Amino acid sequence: MSPKVTVGGSLPDIERCCDWLRCCGGGEPRPRTVWLGHPEKRDQRYPRNVINNQKYNFFTFLPGVLFNQFKYFFNLYFLLLACSQFVPDMRLGALYTYWVPLGFVLAVTIIREAVEEIRCYLRDKEVNSQVYSRLTARGTMKVKSANIQVGDLIIVEKNQRDQRSCFLRTDQLDGETDWKLRLPVACTQRLPTAADLLQIRSYIYAEEPNIDIHNFVGTFTREDSDPPVSESLSIENALWAGTVVASGEASPKVGQPGRAAGELHLSGLLSASRCSLRVNLDMGKIVYSWVIRRDSKIPGTVVRSSTIPEQLGRISYLLTDKTGTLTQNEMVFKRLHLGTVAYGLDSMDEVQSHIFSIYTQQSQDPPAQKGPTLTTKVRRTMSSRVHEAVKAIALCHNVTPVYESNGVTDQAEAEKQYEDSCRVYQASSPDEVALVQWTESVGLTLVGRDQSSMQLRTPGDQILNFTILQIFPFTYESKRMGIIVRDESTGEITFYMKGADVVMAGIVRYNDWLEEECGNMAREGLRVLVVAKKSLAEEQYQDFEARYVQAKLSVHDRSLKVATVIESLEMEMELLCLTGVEDQLQADVRPTLEILRNAGIKVWMLTGDKLETATCTAKNAHLVTRNQDIHVFRLVTNRGEAHLELNAFRRKHDCALVISGDSLEVCLKYYEYEFMELACQCPAVVCCRCAPTQKAQIVRLLQERTGKLTCAVGDGGNDVSMIQESDCGVGVEGKEGKQAALASDFSITQFKHLGRLLMVHGRNSYKRSAALSQFVIHRSLCISTMQAVFSSVFYFASVPLYQGFLIIGVSLGHLLPSSPSPLLTWNGRNKGECDRGGGLRRGAGGRVSSQQRGLRGGHRPLPTWTFSACPGSTIMYGALLLFESEFVHIVAISFTSLILTELLMVALTIQTWHWLMTVAELLSLACYIASLVFLHEFIDVYFIATLSFLWKVSVITLVSCLPLYILKYLRRRFSPPSYSKLTS
C-alpha cells in the first residue's frame, strides 16, 4: 500500500470557483501560484472546500420559501386579501377566518421544505465530513474535507501496488466509469520520505480555472535546488474534485394540478375552500411519494422531490442518455477486421491458432512435403498479420493489471508469479479492458505494467519485456491515443496508435477498405477503433523526444505546441486492423420503451457516441421500430446547407430523425422554429455527439416550443444539467456514480423501473390529484350555492351562512380525512389497478394506452360543474321545506347535511374499497361529532340530537345525492369506461 500525496485544494471545483471569484469582486479567474504545504502563503482568496446542494441556508430559508410561494399570482392574491382585513372599512368577518387557513397552508409548506432541506444538508454533511490525512511538520493529522485549504498536502491511501501511480474515476464529472491513470511529479519521488515535502521550497503554477476537465496546464518548480528544477504538469498529474460540470442550480418545480387549482381559484367560486385544496394536494403528494418508495416491484426507488409526483403521469417527451442508461456500459469484443479477412466470435479460435503458431514456431507443413507450399506461405503471412494486430492491441492502451490477494496467495507473490486468478484490469475506458481481455483469450496476456515498462506473456509462457518511452493519452479533441515502446529483446522502437476512423483515416497510408468496413461495423452497433503502427529509428526518436520535452515545458500555448510535435510522427502509418466492441443493453429496455411508446410518449435519445453506434443502439432497443424509416441528417456547417437539408427532411413522413450535435447547433442557430416543428413530429429522435449543455438546451426548447411536460433520465454527471432542466428528472444509480441520482427528482436502480414509475405511479398520482380537486371544487360549489340560496331568502343581504371557525372547519378539519387523495383513492376508472394487498399494478395486459393516461374527469365542461352544485341547492331548499318552523337552526341543518352528503358521495364514487378508505370515512365523521363540543356557539347540540332532526337531515342528504347517482348510473350504462370494456 502506497500513500499518494496530493496538493489539497489546489485544483478546486472549477465552475464553483469561477462563480465565487466573480461574485466576490475578484473579476475574471486568474492563474494561481500555490506553495506546497504552506496555505498561509497563498496570494488569493479561495472558496471553501465544501459541497452544498441545498436551495437555502439558515438565513434565506424562510424568505426563500415565502418568495417561492407568493411569486405565483393566486397565492399573492390571497395574501393581499388577508392583509386587507386589517383595514376596518374593508373587513369582512373575523381576521382568523383569513389568516388561520393561510397560515396552515404556509406551515405545511414550510415543514415540507424544511424536511427536504434537512435531508439535503445531511447528505452534504456526510460528504463534507469525510476524513483525510494532512501532512504537517508534526506528522499526519486528520482533517475533514470541508477544512482542506489550498496548499495543504493530503495523503490519499488506496489498496494498490507501490508503482508510483494511481487511478481515479471521473464518473461524477463526465459520467465515465473508467479508471484514469494519474502520475506523480517525478522530482518529488526522489525524496526519502513524504515528510521531506515540507522541507523543500517548491510551488505549483496553475492556469486560471475553467470548465474544461480534460486538460490542465501547470508547472512544478523547486527553488531550493541548484539550479532550480522545473517540471511540466498536465492532466495526468491532476486529481479533480468530484464535481459536476455546468450543472447549475435546480429551480423549484411545482405540479400541474397545483397550478391549475390556483387558476381555478381566481374565478372567485372557490375562495372559501382554497387552503383546503392546497393542503389536501400537499398531503396527497406525500402519500404518493410514500407509495412509490414502498413499491416492492421497483426496489430502491427514491423520491427526492415530493411536490411533483403527479407530473410523472403527464409526460409527453422522454429524453434519455444511452451509455449506462439504455446500455450496461460493459463492452464485449465482437470483431477483428484485417481488410481481407474478418474474425468474429465464432472464429476466434483461428486467431488463437495463429498466435500459437507464431510463438511456438511449429511448422504447418505436412511431413511428406520437402518444401513450403503456397498454402503454407499464405498461412505464415496471415499469422504474421494477425500477430502484429494482436500485439499492437496488447500494447497500445493504458490498462494496468492489478493483483489482489485471494486469501491463499500473498499479494506480492501473486504479482511476482502473475497469478491469473488474482489479476484485475484497471483502465481509462471499458473498451480498452475488453480489448486486453480479448488478447488474453487468444494467447497474448498483459501480466505487468508500471510507469516505464510493460510485460506480455506468450502462449509458451515466455515473458516479453517492453520499455514505455512515451504515452499520448486519449483526449476528446484528438480522438486517439498513442504509445512508443522499445522491445527489450530486439531493441526495436515502435509507435502504436489507435483511434476513431474520422481522424485515423488521414494518418494511415492510403487504402481502399477502411471507410467501407468502418461503416459496416458501426451499422452492426459496434464501437470501432482503427489500429496502426510505425517503426522508428533511434536517431528519429531522440530528435522527437528533445522537441517533445521542450514543448511540454511551455507555459503559453502548451497544448498546441505538444500537439504539433506529436503530429510530426503521425504520418504514413501502417494500418493494421479494425476492432469492434459492443455495449450490451440493459435488462428489459425493449419492453419498457414499447410501453412508453404505446402510451403516446415520444422518446429522444441524447448521447455522446458516434452516429452509427447511436443509430444501431436505437434499433436494437426498439426505440425505432422495424417498419419506420430513419432519416440521417447529414452534416451541415452553414445556413445554406441547413436550409437544403431541412427541406429534404420536410418531405419525409413518420420518419425517425438521427442528427449530430454539430448539425443540431447549426440548425438551432438559423432555423430554430422550423427544426423544432419538424423534430416534434417525429416518432423518435436520436442526437449523437451531444454535449451536456446541448442536452439541457434540447429539454428547454421542447418545453418552450410544445408547452408539454418533459422527463429526462440519465446516470452520469454529464446528465445532471438535462435532469435539472426537465419537468421531471430521473436519475439511475449505476456504475457512473450517484451524482445524477442525487440531483434528480426521482432516482431508480434500473431503467426498466421507469415504465412502472411513469405508467402506474405517475398515472395514478395524477388521476387521484384530479379526483381530489374535483371533490374540493364540488364542495366549494355546493357551499357557494348554499350561500346564494341563503342570501336570496334575506333579499340578497350580505349575511354569511357560515362564520368564524365553522368555515375553517369545513375547509381544513371535517372533510380533510375524507378527501380521497391523501389516503388511497380508487374511483371508477381506477378499478383493477390495486391488488388485494393494496399494491399497484398495470391495466389489462400490462399495457397502458394514451387514453388511459388522460383524465377526462379532470376537464369537465361547465354544465357538468353547474349540475354538480345541485346538492347545495337541494340541501338549502330541503331545509326550508322540512324545517320551515325551525329555520333558526339553518346553520346546524345545512352544515350537517353538507358533511353527510360529501361523505356519501365519496363512498358512492369508490369502486374498490380499501381499509384506509373505511378508516378515513369514519375518522371524518368522528371529527364532525367531536367538533360539536367546540361549535356550540353555532350549533345547538340538543336540537341535532332529536329524532325529527335525524330523519329530516337523512332525507335531505339522500335526495341531494340522488341526481348525481342517477347520472353516474346512466353514464356507466351507456358510456362505460375503457377498463370495463377490456375486462368484459
Domain residue extents for the chain: 149-254, 272-291+759-830+841-851+860-982, 328-359+382-403+421-582
Query: Is 175 part of any known ligand binding site?
Result: no
pLDDT of residue 953: 87
CA 465 to chain centre: 44
**Which set of grid coordinates corresponds to residue 673?**
422554429
Query: Is 527 part of any known ligand binding site?
Result: yes
Task: Give me the half-sphere count of Cα atoms (radius 13 Å) on the Cβ side of residue 871.
Answer: 33
CA distance 510 to 491: 29
Query: Is 695 part of any known ligand binding site?
Result: yes
pTM, two decimals, is 0.66
CA distance 605 to 748: 18
Q: In degrees rounded to 5, what are phi and psi of residue 355? A: -65, -40
Query: Is 474 part of any known ligand binding site?
Result: yes
**Which set of grid coordinates corresponds to residue 220?**
512544478
CA distance 301 to 749: 7
Query: Is 715 part of any known ligand binding site?
Result: yes
Query: Is 641 part of any known ligand binding site?
Result: no
Query: Is 323 part of any known ligand binding site?
Result: yes
pLDDT of residue 980: 62
Report which residue type is found at 604: W
Q: Are 734 and 570 in contact (CB under 8 A)?
A: no
**Which set of grid coordinates corresponds to residue 757?**
414509475
Q: Are 169 and 179 in contact (CB under 8 A)?
A: yes
For residue 366, say if its preceding peptide bond is cis, omega within 30 degrees of 0: no
CA distance 979 to 834: 13
CATH fold of the domain at 328-359+382-403+421-582:
Calcium-transporting ATPase, cytoplasmic domain N (3.40.1110)
Q: Which helix (H) or strand (E) holds 710?
A: strand 709-714
- CA nearest neighbour of 630 among 659, 660, 608: 659
CA distance 840 to 762: 11
CA angle 383, 386, 391 (to 5 degrees): 120
Q: Are 573 and 509 in contact (CB under 8 A)?
A: yes
pLDDT of residue 43: 66
Q: Which helix (H) or strand (E) holds 332?
A: strand 327-337
CA distance 763 to 833: 11
Q: Taking each helix axis from N to C terminus, what angle separates 374-395 and 348-360, rounded to the nearest 10 degrees?
A: 100
pLDDT of residue 274: 54
Q: Which helix (H) or strand (E) holds 950?
A: helix 947-974
Splitting the chain (984 residues) into consecutive groups of 10 residues, what average pLDDT does each group show? 50 39 52 77 74 82 87 77 83 74 81 85 83 82 86 67 58 57 75 77 81 75 80 78 42 54 39 61 81 90 85 92 83 90 90 89 44 46 91 92 60 55 78 91 91 90 92 80 93 93 89 88 82 94 91 81 89 92 86 90 88 81 83 91 92 89 91 92 90 89 92 86 91 74 87 92 86 76 81 74 67 46 40 33 35 41 57 82 78 83 78 75 80 72 82 87 78 71 56
Q: Taking each helix axis from N to C terminus, what angle separates 672-680 and 639-650, rounded to the nearest 10 degrees?
A: 30
CA distance 427 to 400: 6
Radius of gyration of the chain (CA): 36
Report which residue type is found at 347: S
| Residue tagged active-site, from 152, 174, 321, 431 | 321
Task: Give the residue carrying C-alpha cell 380533510.
Answer: 816
CA distance 533 to 497: 6
Catalytic residue list contains 450: no
Query: Is 608 part of any known ligand binding site?
Result: yes
Which ranges of 468-620 does DSSP label H, i.e. alpha helix? 501-504, 514-523, 538-552, 558-567, 589-598, 611-620
DSSP of 448-487: EE-SSEEEEE-TTSPEEEEEEEEEE---TTT-EEEEEEEE
pLDDT of residue 619: 83
- CA nearest neighbour of 716 among 738, 683, 688: 738
Q: Which helix (H) or strand (E) holds 873?
A: helix 870-882
